[in-house]
Amino acid sequence: MKKIAIITGASSGIGREFVKLLLREKEIHEIWAVARDKEKLSRLQKRYGERIKTFSVDLSDLDAILEFGKIIKQKKPQIKYLINSAGYAKFCSYRELSAEQTVNMIDVNCSAVAAVTLLAVPYMKRGSHILNLSSQASFQPLPYLNVYSAAKSFVRNYSRALHEELKNEGISVTAVCPGWMRTAFYRRAFIGARQTVNNFSGMARPGNVAAKALRDAKKNKDTSVYGMYVKTAHLAAKVLPQKMMMKLWMKQQNF
Ligand SMILES: NC(=O)c1ccc[n+]([C@@H]2O[C@H](COP(=O)([O-])OP(=O)(O)OC[C@H]3O[C@@H](n4cnc5c(N)ncnc54)[C@H](OP(=O)(O)O)[C@@H]3O)[C@@H](O)[C@H]2O)c1
C-alpha cells in the first residue's frame, strides 16, 4: 500500500515548504499536491519530480472536493499526512466584500478543511498526522479582517476538538497558528481598500514555521505556535479581555 501525504495549497507559500520537508521522508511514496492553478502545479512537479502527483481542485466547490474524495477511495492509499494549507484573506472592511466573496472565503478556509479531513481520515492509521493552517488571527476578533479571523478560529477549534476525538486512534490534529509569513498571501489579500492592514510586525519565513509545525505534529501537539512574537500574542489573548485585544489591534494598525 502506498504511503502518501496530501497537501492542499501545495503550489505556494507554506504549503510548498511542507512539500519540500516531506520529500525528505523516504517512507512517503507520493505527495498529492492540491491547488487550482494547473501551471503552478506542473512547475511544482517539474521542480520536485515523480513523487509529486498534482490535482487541480477548486476547494470552494464541494462537488470538486467530493470528486477528489472519489480518487482517494479508488486508490486507497495510506495517508500518513494531511496538510490543509489552502486559504486566503482579504484586507478590507465588511462593506467591500460581496456575499459571494464572503462565503467563498469561508468555504476555502473552513468548509474545505472539514470536508477534506473527513474524506482522508478513513485512510489514516495510528501515527498519521493532520495539520490545519489556522493563524495568529484565530486568537481574537480582528476588525477589517473579520471573516478571516473568524474562519481561522473555526479551524483552530475544529482541529483541537478533533485531536481529542482521534486520540484513541493514534492520529494527531494540529492547528498551526502562524503570524505574518513572507508568502504570496498578500497578492490576494490587498484589494486597494482604504482601511487596510498595514503593520506586519514579526514577519517569519514559511520554511521555519512549517518545520516547527511538523515537529509539533510529531509530538502530538494540538497547537503549533512559532516565534516569540506570536507566542506573546497567544499568551496575551489568554489573559486579556478580547475588547482590549481588539483595541490593541486597532492601534497597531492605525485604524
Ligand atoms: N502568509 C501569512 O502571513 C499567513 C499567516 C497566517 C496563516 N496563513 C495561512 O497559511 C495558509 C497558506 O497561506 P500562504 O501564506 O502559504 O499563502 P499563498 O502563498 O497565497 O498560498 C495559498 C495556496 O492556497 C491555494 N488556494 C487558494 N485558494 C484555493 C482554492 N479555492 N482551491 C484550492 N487551492 C486554493 C493556492 O493555489 P491556487 O491559487 O493555485 O489555488 C496556493 O497554493 C493559508 O491558510 C493562510 O490563511 C498565512
Return the domain boundaries, the chain.
3-252
Q: What are the E-state strand segments in the chain?
A: 3-8, 30-35, 52-56, 78-84, 129-133, 172-176, 223-224
Ligand 1 closest atom vs CA 61: 31
Residue 185 CA to ligand 1 centre (angstroms): 6
Ligand 1 closest atom vs CA 108: 31
145-155 average pLDDT score: 98
Ligand 1 closest atom vs CA 152: 47
pLDDT in tens, 86-131: 999 999 999 999 999 999 999 999 999 999 999 999 999 999 999 9
Pull the grid cell for residue 92. Answer: 478590507
Q: Is the pLDDT of residue 1 over 90?
A: no
pLDDT at residue number 61: 98
Query: What is 3-252's CATH topology?
Result: Rossmann fold (3.40.50)
**Considering the entire predicted model, what is its pTM?**
0.98
Q: What percent of the chain has pLDDT over 90?
A: 100
Which among 6, 7, 8, 14 is the best mutation to test ligand 1's pocket, defined by most ligand atoms within 8 Å of the CB?
14
For ligand 1, atom 46, the nearest C-alpha belongs to: 87
5-26 average pLDDT score: 98
Please count the other Cβ atoms lying within 10 Å of the Cβ belonging to residue 201. 9
Q: Exposed/middle/buried for 47, CB within 10 Å: 0-12, 13-18, 19+?
A: exposed
Give me the active site residues, please: 148
Q: Which residues lie with the beta carbon below 6 Å from any ligand 1 atom?
A: 8-9, 11-15, 35-37, 40, 57-60, 85-88, 108, 133, 135, 178, 180-181, 183-185, 188
